[in-house]
Homo-oligomer: A and B are copies of this chain.
Amino acid sequence: MKKKKLSIQIIYRKLEYSKTDMNCIETALFICYCFLENVYAESWCNMSITIKDVAKQANVSVATVSRILNNLPGYSDETQQRVKKVIKELGYQPNAVARGLINRKTKTIGVLVPNVSDLFASEVLAGIEEQAHEFGYSVMICKTNHDGKRTINYLHALYEKRVDGIIIVSEFITLDYYKAIETNNVPVVLVATQSDYPLPFIKVDDYQAAYDATTYLVKKGHSHIGMIAGTKSDAISTTPRVKGFTDALNDVGITVTNEMITYGDFSFKSGIEGMDKLLKSYPKVKAVFCASDEMAVGALSLLYKRGIRVPERISLIGYDNTATAEKAIPPLTTVAQPLYKMGKDSIQLLLNPALKVNPLYPHHIAERDTVHSYSE
């Protein structure tokens, strides 16, 4: 224990600095104690075992230990054995923070996602996590709640933490976001969204998928088809789907009117409301294309409550093929997106930008029991 007189000035500074510490009161008291006892002890810092300790114990330089840890050449078998033994004995764990500082690589990637607790996002997330783990990366999640300010904050936090890449799921890229992305040159990949700014992305062809879903209904003999679309202002997930729906019907000679489309926000609740509105605005409706499984299940719920049989009276087709779809009663026919795979692949693309893949992922219709067929 080193002894040293602490001057008033130093005590003052110490107290000021200690304010930034979480356990400020304890620290302050400890410092006061040190002052009174005229003792300056560094005993409160609990050092963990570093590469230096290993080096000392094994009688080699830190460079050698580092080389052994990183499988670089430059040591004899004997040295290696000795060092590895010491590492095990001391229970040495390398400090990834120090490593990150010098390597400028943190082996960490950040994920921005509107919501963690919905099945769409969490399925993508599961894929992301899986692939990241396989590549030895950790993933930081940031729940944006579709809040612009929050998103920008997260973006900055991720840059400060020096993540090696960022994945943005289902989020519209504003100019602000893009500016932040552009200035920090950290790779970004978009999943289930797309931007006019030049950013790599992975998503399904929403227009085509909507077109196909609608055509599917037509092929099953439907002609009075309505749509419960997503958030009206959403240029990524609503506009193309509405257009796909409209075009598909136009192409078979059906004119789409306003009464046939209602807008929600992709949620269960908005599915209930949307179905209710649709029933009023378009009473002849026999089949409904819902822009999300959640809304489809909401619709299902309302129809059940009203005693309207699905698919006998009204057919329903969803979008996403989340876990909800197969668990619905009756099981929901829906447009399937390969969410898990999209998540996995986004990591691949992020870590290997050279990899030029087709950003448009294949969709298909998962046929279950909510679409009635008149065709045979």
Contact = CB atoms under 8 A, between A and B. Distances in A.
Interface in A313-351: 323-324, 326-331, 351
A292 interface: no
A22 interface: yes
Given A93-B184, A108-B140, A116-B129, A301 B329 contact: yes
Copies in the complex: 2
Given A95-B162, A108-B140, A122 B129 contact: no
A97 B93 contact: no
A130 B154 CA distance: 12
Interface in A19-75: 20, 22, 45-46, 48, 70-73
A161 B140 CA distance: 12
Contacts of A101: 95, 97-98, 101
A20 B117 CA distance: 38
A20 B73 CA distance: 12
A145 to B, nearest CB: 9
Nearest to A98: B101
A123 B129 contact: no
Nearest to A107: B161
A301 B300 CA distance: 14
A351 B21 CA distance: 12
Nearest to A71: B20
A100 B162 CA distance: 11
Contacts of A133: 142-143, 150
Contacts of A351: 22
A141 B141 contact: yes
A138 interface: yes
Given A119-B117, A119-B119, A185-B46, A129 B141 contact: yes
B160 A72 contact: no
Contacts of A281: none
B108 A161 contact: yes
A123 to B, nearest CB: 5
Nearest to A162: B97
A184 B95 CA distance: 12
A183 B46 CA distance: 13
Contact of A72 (B17, B116, B329): B17
A68 to B, nearest CB: 13
Given A138-B140, A324-B324, 7 more contacts: A16-B72, A17-B72, A94-B160, A97-B100, A97-B101, A97-B162, A268-B327
Interface of A: 16-17, 20, 22, 45-46, 48, 70-73, 91, 93-98, 100-101, 104, 106, 108, 115-119, 122-123, 125-126, 129-130, 133, 138-143, 150, 156-162, 183-185, 268, 297-298, 300-301, 304, 323-324, 326-331, 351
What are the 10 A-B residue pairs with the smallest beta carbon separation, nearest first?
A117-B126, A117-B122, A96-B160, A96-B161, A97-B100, A122-B122, A129-B143, A329-B329, A116-B126, A304-B329
